[in-house]
């Protein structure tokens, strides 16, 4: 799954938005521990074919649920089978989006109930996007979104059995192209990002709490940390 991520290098991400999507300079707030239920920047395609930034709440709430405390608000969806699910079908065709990031966090299960957090990023710290879908706002809440997940590559597999769908370059732009896609196309987008371009680093436990949203969460794991990457 993907339950936390970061938007650390805002200058680099802003430059990426201009280069990749033609989005003019945008004031981004650095986030070191973005978490579900928070309102976060998302890229959407406009009807005129131009991409734009929107602020959305993380946790996809179906349009028919207008309650203030919805019972259903998934933060992730498996690409496998998502195409056939009524909850996601319309959004896959009409409301695809990209979630801005330059890193994400995942927890490796250890013996007992212990977990070791990892910071995962692209080699060189390059910005990227998660593939997602969103649901339109209602009278009681803003637009909401989720992140698609896929099977892990060889770097992620020792850490977790899922990883987010990561898109860069042309693939990211293609995800935003208006119009329906097929189940086969969704499967193509969901190919795990190449392992040789992914770097995972064990970090300390500060990231465990979303209240900790500062560079300190990226501090390395202490000498007492136990984990395995093979």
Active-site amino acid positions: 2, 106
Kindly state the DSSP code that residue 115 receives in the 8-state scheme.
E
CA atoms of 153 and 131, how far apart (whole Å) = 16
Closest alpha carbon to 138 in 71, 66, 90: 66
Looking at beta carbons, which pairs linking 171-175 to residues 24 or more positions away fall under 8 Å?
172/20, 172/98, 172/128, 172/129, 173/20, 173/21, 175/96, 175/98, 175/129, 175/131
CA atoms of 153 and 189, how far apart (whole Å) = 14
Helix axes 10-21, 169-176, angle to 10 degrees: 70
């Amino acid at each position: 799954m993907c339950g936390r991520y970061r938007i650390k290098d805002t200058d680099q991400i802003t430059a990426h938005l201009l280069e990749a999507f033609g989005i003019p300079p945008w004031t981004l707030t650095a986030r070191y521990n973005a978490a579900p239920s928070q309102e976060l920047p998302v890229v959407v395609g406009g009807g005129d074919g131009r991409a734009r930034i929107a602020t959305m709440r993380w946790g996809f709430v179906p349009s028919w649920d207008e309650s203030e405390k919805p019972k259903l608000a998934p933060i992730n969806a498996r690409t496998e089978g998502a195409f056939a699910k009524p909850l996601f079908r319309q959004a896959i065709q009409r409301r695809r989006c990209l979630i801005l990031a330059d890193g994400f966090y995942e927890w490796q299960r250890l013996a007992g109930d212990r977990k070791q957090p990892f910071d995962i990023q692209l080699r060189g710290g390059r910005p990227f996007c998660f593939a997602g879908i969103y649901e339109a706002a209602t009278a009681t809440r803003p637009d909401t979104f989720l992140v698609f997940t896929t099977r892990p590559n060889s770097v992620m597999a020792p850490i977790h059995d899922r990883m987010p769908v990561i898109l860069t370059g042309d693939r990211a732009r293609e995800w935003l192209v208006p119009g329906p896609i097929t189940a086969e196309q969704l499967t193509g987008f969901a190919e795990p990002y190449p392992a040789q371009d992914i770097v995972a680093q064990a970090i300390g436990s500060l990231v465990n709490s979303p209240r900790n949203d500062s560079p300190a969460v990226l501090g390395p794991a202490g000498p007492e940390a136990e984990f395995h990457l093979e």
